[in-house]
Structure 1
Amino acid sequence: MIHFKAIGKIMGALMFLIGVLMLPAASISWIYGENSVPIMASAAISLFIGMIFFFSFAKYDQLIRKREGYLVVAISWLIMTIFGMLPFLLSAEITSISDALFETVSGLTTTGASILTDIEGMPKGLLFWRSMTQWIGGLGIIVLTVAIFPLLGIGGSELFVAESPGPTSDKVHPRISETAKRLWYVYVGLTVAAALLYWVGGMTFYDAVNHSLTTLATGGFSTKNASMAFYDSAFIQYVAVIFMFLAGTNFTLIYFGSVGKFSRILKSDEFKAYTGAVILLTLIVFAGIMINSETGTELAFRNAAFQVVSLITTTGYVTDDYTQYGMGITFICFMLLFLGGSAGSTAGSIKFVRHVVFLKNSWLEFKRIVHPRAIVPLIINGEMVSGRIINNIMNFLLIYLSTFVIGSLVISLLGYDFATSLGSVATCLGNVGPAIGKVGPVDNFAFFSPAAKVVLSFLMLLGRLELFTILILFTPFFWRAN
């Protein structure tokens, strides 16, 4: 039997928290002389309903088991979406429910795809809330990775847990609160550092804070129509590259680095693969830009590094239109949508740890064929990976690619061309932002029909919550009584 009342108590606390987090955006509206009523009303609604839920179920303290865990994760993101839409709708800056749904889901899942055609014309308070949705979603996914996904057995997260001083793969460790606190310090500290450097580099304080929120969340929402291309500053763009790279790194490794435990970083196979891929792909794209354009060497390198890091970490900031450098570079950038950063980071998509496991296991399979009686273990970070985790990751990859194919088919059946269908599904499922076709780096998603926006919103949630967390709710045995 599922303990719905215990879930209701948690949801009440979440609604209350969302209301509190809206207050800074309302303050921004007031400071800039804008109408703060829509955001204040949204906060009041969230706070009021949250208190009703929390106190109605306050006496229920049943243990949250695995099945409740799946529901908590799924319902939490649904609740955040519903209440996150309110400031957009009540302000009438976005009047369509499908548009508000898309923009809010894109924010919370840190996708960065947008339906807004004039970002700079939006009220500053509302843009700040838009940035906050990404920062909230980025922090939320870290907490999920540490506290919830290992409990649910989400493939790849157990490997992240091996680096973490908190939970194990089958229970929430008593030190989970300490782990979450450390990661919170890292997340907030990096956000503040990025804001200060953006400010020093020439952004206004308001823009610096907004961009720091969306950089560390690997979200990519900007306060400018041209995204990071608006800032023709090598300093600002290199700062963005550095912090996007850090945001795509396992936050536990960043913590270990901050306390001098560099050996933990050096033994991480995922970090080595992540770093190596960024360097190699930057050089390839840099060479492609130099060959296919007359761009200067430094600018070509900066654009290559920026777009590679932005796409791999699923941030989605833009400084250049990579589709103008020929099909080869466009294809490479499209493939980057399927990489993702590290497990335990704010990045989306497949994640490097899964690619590492897949490639290593595939290579070892040749050895197993030649020596069928030999025991050939898969070693990651110096430790043997269990067969259950390998199987889970292989299933994840198959389901991910199947979802991409089915999603592309659905979008194409809704009337969109081949490249746009592939690009929109790949970027939404991977929580990236820009793609190919009519959703390239200088385009947006405003032209999609309401049905297509709902489908793409669902794909964003599906990808952000590691597929299984949502898909298992559609299975009949999940709802059967124990």
Structure 2
Amino acid sequence: MNYSIIIYIIGMILKIEAVFMALPAITALIYQETSGVAFLITIALCLVIGLPLTRKKPTRKAFYTKEGFVTVALSWIVLSIIGAIPFVISRSIPNPVDALFETVSGFTTTGASILSDVETLPHCMLMWRSFTHWIGGMGVLVFILSLLPLTGGYHMNLMKAESPGPSVSKLAPKVQSTAKILYSIYFVMTVIQILLLLVGGMPLFDSICTAFGTAGTGGFGIKNDSMASYSTYLQVVITVFMILFGVNFNAYFFIITKKFAQAFKMEEVRYYFGIIGIAILIIACNIYHIFGSAAKAFQQAAFQVGSIITTTGYATTDFNTWPEISRTILVLLMFIGACAGSTGGGIKVSRILILCKTVRKELHIFLHPNAVKKIKMDGKAIPHEVVRSTNIFFIVYMLIFASSIFLIAFDDFNLITNFTAVAATFNNIGPGLELVGPTGNFGMFSWFSKLILTFDMLAGRLEIFPLLILFVRDTWKKF
């Protein structure tokens, strides 16, 4: 294990988090809020710890997959712990476990909250909550790769460990260039959404926070009713951008470089939009009697389908009261999630496709034992390692999911609440059903259950393995 380089990168994470905290600190200055002092204290803490850790550059450049996974996992844990400190210092969320839950929910773009009245929070705290979504959406280490000229050939191991999906590919010859491309697309799309929200009459502060939550597919609202009080135009803009941020960013790169054939050839993206379209139509028909208008039912169905499949978690209505068919579809969409290479969570459409194609291949082999059949995606054969890792991912996913439901059951809430609470946190969605529905929150869980759900949020965002590898004894051996 190359500890020196891991410590160096964690030091950089702390320094960058100090820079990120300047935004809520400036917000506090604008609104003349004393809570901004909490950010200044935390910034000082980040620099006191981070500067010594990065004073000496590591001499050993060996940085393999193991180091990449450990670095990503530890970086996100440190990022979350430090990010929770302003909530505790300002007494906005005085309980450290609650503050950690809220912060992890922000960075992992989950959007699950323990707060029952977010409108009482100062503007600087609301900005920080929403900004954590934007930071975590693309990944803080991807941000580091886009800015810093790291050398030694270990960029890809960091990107593989942090980027969502069964496999990661470079958009440019250099990983640093790929990171810059990704963040450029991410930034431009965020700015466009802010401008469109402003055109619709949304205040600047609301527009920035909402765009941060949409871009990161996070879902922290700054109002108690989430998005319900905003106009239909604003809800439509948010719907469109939630769905767009759930698309594999490779597709945008192909479109920008005028490789339209490659963009439309992406099988995952086609299925992603197909699933969204079918779900919207079924739910719109199912809830027509509630709204009494086909257009309103379609718009509400589109918002909630877009919010759930992209794991954003915004809400315009209490879908917990919808008919069972609609609720069932929304729960299924929680598991499917968005595309790989997007800011969305869930299992990912690409993994679902690979699993389905694997089943079809096995059935074909049963009928034709001597046949040689390869699993293909976008017309290309999928490497065996990707298929194997997808199968293992799903097995571990189910084990963690089942274990989490069992462990939080000791709080004695009903099964639907527990099941959807784990689904909402593990898939980085936010709201579930029953007590954790759009009008509820996670505050009623015990500190133990909150820590279990916090682990689920981190595991879900980091695609499980980077977090699990911390608990393997051989990880910490020096070779």
Distance in 1, Cα, partners of 2:9 & 2:415: 43
User: Per-residue deviation at 1:156?
Assistant: 4.2
Letter in 2 for 1:393: T
Q: Which residue of 2 aligns with 1:455?
A: 452
In the alignment, the residues of structure 1 paired with residue 467 and residue 365 of structure 2 have an alpha-carbon distance, to the nearest angstrom, of: 35
User: Which 4+ stretches in 1 moved above 6 angstroms?
Assistant: none
Shift of 1:103: 0.3
Shift in CA distance, 186/150, structure 1 to aligned 2, threshold 3 Å: closer
1:296 corresponds in structure 2 to: 293
Within-5 A mapping of 1:323-334: 323-334=320-331
Alignment partner, residue 396 of structure 1: 393
Q: Aligned pair 1:479/2:452, yes or no?
A: no
Match of 2:29 in 1: 30
> What is the identity, as a one-letter code, of the residue corresponding to 1:411?
I
- Uncovered stretches (5+) of structure 2, i.e. residues with no partner: 146-154
Q: Which has the larger displacement, 426-435 or 323-332?
A: 323-332
Instruction: Work out whether residues 26 and 125 of structure 1, in 8 Å CA contact, stay in contact via their aligned partners in 2.
Output: yes
Q: Provide the residue aligned with 2:171 in structure 1.
A: 165
SS state at 1:226 partner: coil
Name which of 285, 293, 297 aligns with 2:283. Answer: 285
Query: Is 1:104 aligned to residue 86 of structure 2?
Result: no
Pick the aligned partner of 2:465 from 446, 464, 468.
468
Is contact 1:112–1:431 with CA below 8 Å preserved after alignment? yes
Superposition map of 1:76-225 within 5 A: 76-140=75-139, 143=142, 147-148=156-157, 151=160, 156-158=165-167, 160-161=168-169, 164-166=170-172, 175-225=174-224
Q: Which runs of 5+ in 1 are unaligned?
A: 167-173
Deviation at 1:48, TM superposition (A): 2.3
Residue deviations 1:163-205, cap 9 Å, x none?
A: x424xxxxxxx51111111111100000101111111111100
- Report the equivalent of 1:5: 4
CA contact (8 A) 2:171 2:253 kept: no
Distance in 2 of aligned mates of 1:14 and 1:227 = 31
Matches of 2:61 and 2:333 in 1, distance apart?
43
Alignment of 1:358-369 (within 5 A): 358-369=355-366
Structure 2: distance between partners of 1:477 and 1:119: 44
Q: CA deviation at 1:480?
A: 3.7
Quote the Cα distance in structure 1 between the aligned partners of 2:269 and 2:258: 17
1:240 aligns with 2:238: yes
Q: Tell me, in whole angstroms, the C-alpha distance in 2 between the residues paired with 1:103 and 1:121.
A: 15
Deviations 1:279-327 (A, max 9, x none): 011101111101x424321111011000001000000000111121222
Three-state SS of the structure 2 residue aligned to 1:34 is: coil
Contact 1:38 1:91 (8 Å CA) reproduced: yes
**Judging changes above 3 Å, is the alpha-carbon distance between structure 1 residues 155 and 383 closer, same or farther for their aligned structure 2 residues?**
farther
**How many Å apart are 1:150 and its aligned residue?**
6.5
CA-CA distance at 1:459 after TM superposition: 0.6
Counterpart of 2:264 (choices 255, 263, 266) is 266
Partner AA of 1:261 in structure 2:
K
Shift of 1:120: 1.1
Q: Which amino acid aligns with 2:82?
A: F
TM-score by length of 1: 0.93
Question: What is the DSSP-based 3-state SS (H/G/I as helix, E as strand, rest coil) of the residue aligned with 1:228?
Answer: coil
Is 2:370 the partner of 1:411?
Answer: no
**Residue correspondence of structure 1 range 427-442 to structure 2 within 5 A:** 427-442=424-439
Local SS of the residue matching 2:54: helix
Tell me which amino acid in the other structure corresponds to 1:287: C
CA gap of 1:412–1:383, structure 2 versus 1, over 3 A, is same
CA distance in 2, matches of 1:150, 1:359: 27
Match of 1:382 in 2: 379
Per the normalisation by structure 2, the TM-score is: 0.94
1:193/1:152 CA distance change after superposition, 3 Å: closer
Within 1, Cα distance between the matches of 2:348 and 2:363?
24
Change (3 A) 1:39 1:60: same
Moved more, 11-20 or 320-329: 320-329
Q: CA deviation at 1:154?
A: 9.0
Between the two proteins, the alignment pairs up a number of residues equal to 468
Deviation of 1:258 after TM superposition, in Å, equals 2.5
Amino acid at match of 1:266: F
> What's the CA shift for 1:446?
1.3
